[in-house]
Amino acid sequence: MRQRTIGGVQVSAIGLGGMPMSIEGRPDHQRSVATIHAALDAGVTLIDTADAYHLHADEVGHNESLIAEALASWGGDASSVVVATKGGHLRPGDGRWTRDGRPEYLKQAAEASLKRLGVPAIGLYQFHRPDPSVPYAESVGALADLLDAGKIRMAGISNANPAQIREAQEVLGGRLASVQNQYSPAFVSSRPELDLCTELGVAFLPWSPLGGISRASDLGARFAAFRQVADAHGVSPQQVTLGWMLATSPVVVPIPGSSRPETIRDSVRAADLDLSADELATLDAAVSRR
């Protein structure tokens, strides 16, 4: 599979998003492990998770533990796999997503993630979502301290606007490795952040790249241009979407979510899908017309 880099570390051009395996509608344990193993077998070396990917209040870190277990039980060499987790978002168990961006909380959350992942240092630790009650520089400052302490290898942010990206880069002394924002054919309003990441050489990880768990399957029905290009190549519209994203900028590393081996196997093939300049122009035009 083609490769990309995050903070100078090489990863597969397509990562695996772990969220569908731990929140509402999640599959059974066996199928989740099979999905993660299928990703690894296909060459995926980036897995995105978060301590908040769980359902009930008493199972914080459900997805991190699942990934740690699947990596340990996989037959191959997992030493080059980067597990990217996040802190600062919480799920009290009633369906809500709350926030806590206090530096002391983030440091404690990172320690807990480190234990669940069973690694000496977290591959990529991302501040999940800005907390309006805490100055952004203070939250990101916790990531700088975690880097300095060797608890995390790379630091990233998520759901950030251009001003926050620049602020994070400054607070981290130029060590901002990644930005993870929503980006898909149905949601292109993060384009300014993507362009800024390209300018700064910071990895951009589009979340919900296929439109999200409940809408990913009808992508081809909603976006005729993507379906037509897919038909011409004999591939899925989801694969074309990921290929189109990769062609947008060398800093893009999509993390499609999956809860079945078949879907992640299909998605990783996007890394090697070559779309022509005409096809890319057609897809860009279809998205910008919306």
Q: Which residue in the set 209, 246, 251, 287 belongs to the binding site for ligand NAP (CB under 6 A)? A: 209
Q: Which two tokens stand for residue 109?
A: 């959350």
x/- mask, ligand NAP, residues 87-126, rule CB under 6 A, reads ----------------------------------------
Alpha carbon separation from 248 to 108, 112, 181, 204 (Å, rounded): 37, 36, 15, 11
| C-alpha span between 246 and 55 (Å, rounded) | 31
Q: Indicate the residue among 105 and 207 with the shorter CB distance to ligand NAP.
A: 207
| C-alpha span between 216 and 222 (Å, rounded) | 10
Residue at token pair 């060797």: 150
The SS3 assignment for 249 reads coil
Does 51 engage in binding with ligand NAP (CB under 6 A)? no
Does 248 engage in binding with ligand NAP (CB under 6 A)? no
Q: Are 159 and 130 in contact (CB under 8 A)?
A: yes
Q: Which two tokens stand for residue 274?
A: 């070559």
Phi, psi of 72 (to 5 degrees): -70, -35
| C-alpha span between 44 and 251 (Å, rounded) | 17
Binding segment (CB under 6 A) for ligand NAP, from list 14-22, 69-77, 116-124, 160-168: 14-22
**Catalytic residue status for 53:** yes
Q: Indicate the residue among 148 and 202 with the shorter CB distance to ligand NAP.
A: 202
Q: Which residue in the set 113, 178, 236, 248 belongs to the binding site for ligand NAP (CB under 6 A)? A: 236
Does 82 engage in binding with ligand NAP (CB under 6 A)? no
Does 176 engage in binding with ligand NAP (CB under 6 A)? no
Residues designated catalytic:
53
Give the residues lining the site for ligand NAP (CB under 6 A): 17-20, 48, 129, 158-159, 180, 207-213, 216-217, 236, 238-239, 255-260, 263, 266-267
